[in-house]
């Protein structure tokens, strides 16, 4: 069988390259242009054949001996998931991959905290691929999306607080909620009460004491207080919690809290 017939046969069945001894470059190309992974069955491929194989299937890089840094960078830019098939990828390659997807962190060995933070800032759920993320990494993830909390084992108080600060729905992801933890998180975002079961045992007195503790602070979180003042579960006759916020702030509020109170009511 002459070369042309081999090439025609390979176009119909590229896997046939496995059974051809000493194939020509043209035969190799006929096979890898259809399925780059067939590079695995070709001995001593030419540079042209390698390029054709990688163009068709970037994952075929695992069958390339001593690929250059330039080649690897080009492949990662084309498809970040290629990182999985690169043995001991460099810091530069990992960074290139993470620019496309934070999920690339799962193919990095012992990534630095800085790299981990970049990954979760790109895709918050990339934290599921990080073993024992530091508090800084956890915080970066929940700041992007509170749902990152579902992937964090044993989040710190600061991480839970940041999650509910972003969205009170994060309370759904706080395991084994106690009254003490519920009140701590209430001091961060008053709207978390909508996600606290009555079985937790939070009382009106508990809430009032927590509010007093918060509003008495000189460096009170302005966004928290404004949120509290507009929370319809407090104050009015139809409110869930009959707590007179105006009176509480007038009696116990810091100068800053009282100024925010005045500013808020001047809006109406």
- At a CB cut-off of 8 Å and minimum separation 6, what does 247 contact? none
- pLDDT tens per residue across span 122-164: 999 999 999 999 999 999 999 999 999 999 998 999 999 999 9
CA distance 202 to 190: 13
Which of 199, 148, 143 is closest to 174 using CA atoms? 148
Q: What is the pTM of this model?
A: 0.83
Q: What are phi and psi of 234, to 5 degrees?
A: -115, 150
Which alpha helices (DSSP H) does the chain contain, by range?
3-12, 25-32, 47-56, 69-78, 91-100, 113-122, 135-144, 157-166, 179-186, 204-215, 222-229, 245-252, 255-265
Whether the pLDDT of residue 263 is over 90: the answer is: no
Q: Kindly report, residue by residue over 205-243, the tens digit of the pLDDT.
A: 999 999 999 999 999 999 999 999 999 998 767 788 889
Confidence of residue 192 (pLDDT cuts 50, 70, 90): very high
Which has more pLDDT, 169 or 5? 169
Backbone angles phi, psi at 241, to 5 degrees: -115, 115
């Amino acid at each position: 069988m002459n070369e042309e017939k081999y090439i025609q046969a390979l176009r119909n069945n590229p896997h046939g390259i496995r059974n051809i001894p000493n194939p020509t470059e043209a035969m190799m190309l006929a096979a890898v242009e259809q399925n780059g992974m067939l590079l695995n069955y070709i001995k001593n491929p030419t540079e042209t054949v390698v390029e054709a194989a990688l163009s068709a299937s970037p994952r075929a890089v695992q069958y390339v001996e001593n690929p250059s840094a330039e080649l690897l960078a080009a492949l990662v830019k084309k498809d970040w998931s290629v990182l999985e098939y690169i043995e001991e990828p460099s810091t530069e390659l990992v960074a290139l991959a993470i620019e496309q997807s934070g999920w690339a962190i799962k193919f990095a060995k012992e990534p630095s905290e800085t790299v981990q933070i970049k990954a979760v800032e790109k895709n918050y759920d990339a934290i599921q691929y990080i073993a024992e993320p530091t508090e800084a990494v956890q915080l970066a993830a929940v700041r992007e999306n509170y749902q990152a909390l579902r992937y964090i084992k044993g989040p710190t108080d600061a991480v839970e607080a940041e999650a509910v600060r972003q969205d009170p729905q994060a309370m759904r992801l706080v395991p084994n909620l106690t009254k003490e933890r519920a009140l701590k998180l209430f001091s961060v975002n008053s709207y978390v009460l909508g996600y606290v079961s009555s079985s937790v045992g939070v009382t009106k007195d508990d809430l009032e004491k927590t509010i007093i503790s918060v509003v008495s602070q000189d460096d009170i979180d302005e966004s928290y207080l404004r949120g509290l003042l507009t929370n319809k579960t407090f104050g009015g006759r139809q409110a869930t919690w009959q707590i007179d916020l105006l009176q509480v702030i007038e009696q116990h509020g810091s100068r800053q809290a009282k100024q925010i109170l005045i500013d808020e009511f001047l809006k109406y």
